[in-house]
Amino acid sequence: MSHVDAGSHDDMTADTFYRSAAALAPFFAELADAGARDAGMPALRKIGLRAERAMLAATGGVNTHRGAIFGLGLLCAAAGLHGSRERRAQRGQAAGVTLGDLVAARWGDEIAGGPRAADSHGARAARRYGAGGARAEAAGGFARVYAVGVPALRDGARRARGDAEAARVHACFALIAALDDDTNLLHRGGRDGLDFAQRTAREFLAAGGVGACDWRARAAAAHRAFVARRLSPGGAADLLAMSLFVAALDDARALP
C-alpha cells in the first residue's frame, strides 16, 4: 500500500490510510501523556484498544495501522516517559538511553508476557514459523529500528540528497532485508515468500540502493514482483514508520 497504488491489498486505498492516520493521531498524544505519568502496560493497552476501535470505525473495519498502534504507540509512551524524566532533572540518567531502551526496561516484561491475539494473522504466522514478530521486537527495545532503520534513512539521504522519498525507500529495503521474522510476509507467502522478499531487497541494496541512477526503475520492478506474489512487508513498513519517528525526534533534539 502506498500513494502509488494499493499494492497487494484489495481492501484499502491510500485514502483509507489517510482516514485511519487522522483518527489515530489523538491516541498517540494520549499514549505520550500516559508515558509521562509512568503508566503501566495495562493502561497503555486500554488506550491502544480504543485507538484500534477508532481505526476500524474510520476504515469500515479494515486493519490499516494495528502494527503502528502497537509499535509507534509504545515509542510515544517512551517519549513521554523520557520527557518527564528530563523535567525531573534526571537528564544525566537518561543520557544515551534510546526510546527503545526505555520501552524494554519499563514495559518489556509485560509485553513479552502479555495477552496474545490468538486469531490474528501475525500470531498464527508466529506460531507456525517460530517467528518472534512485533512482540519480540518491542520487548527487545526495537533493536532493528536503531541498528538498521535509522542508519539506512541517513545513508539514503546521503545517497540521494534532497530526496526524502528516496531515503525512505532505501530504509524500507534495508529493513525488508534485515527482518527475517516479518509475520506479514510469512502469513502471505510462507518461508519462500519471506526469502524472496529478502533476496529482492538485498539485490536492490547491492546495486547501490537509491544511489544508483536507475533506482526508481529497480524499486518499481521489486514492487511489481511483490504484488505478483501477493506479498506485503508489513513488519518492515511498521519499523520504517518507527524509524522515521525516532529520526525526527533525534533531529529536533539536535536543533540549538
Q: What are the grid coordinates assigned to 30, written together? A: 494520549
Q: What are the grid coordinates assigned to 45, written together? A: 493497552
pLDDT tens-digit profile of 169-197?
A: 999 999 999 999 999 999 999 999 999 99
Nearest to 184 by CA among 196, 194, 175: 194
Mean pLDDT of all residues belonging to the chain = 90
Banded model confidence at residue 256, pLDDT cuts 50, 70, 90? very low
CB neighbourhood size of 155 (10 A): 18
Q: What is the C-alpha separation between 28 and 77, in angstroms, rounded?
A: 8
pLDDT above 80 (res 11): no
Q: DSSP letters of 51-73?
A: HHHHHHHHHTS--SSHHHHHHHH
CB neighbourhood size of 14 (10 A): 13
Please give the DSSP secondary-structure letter assigned to residue 11: S
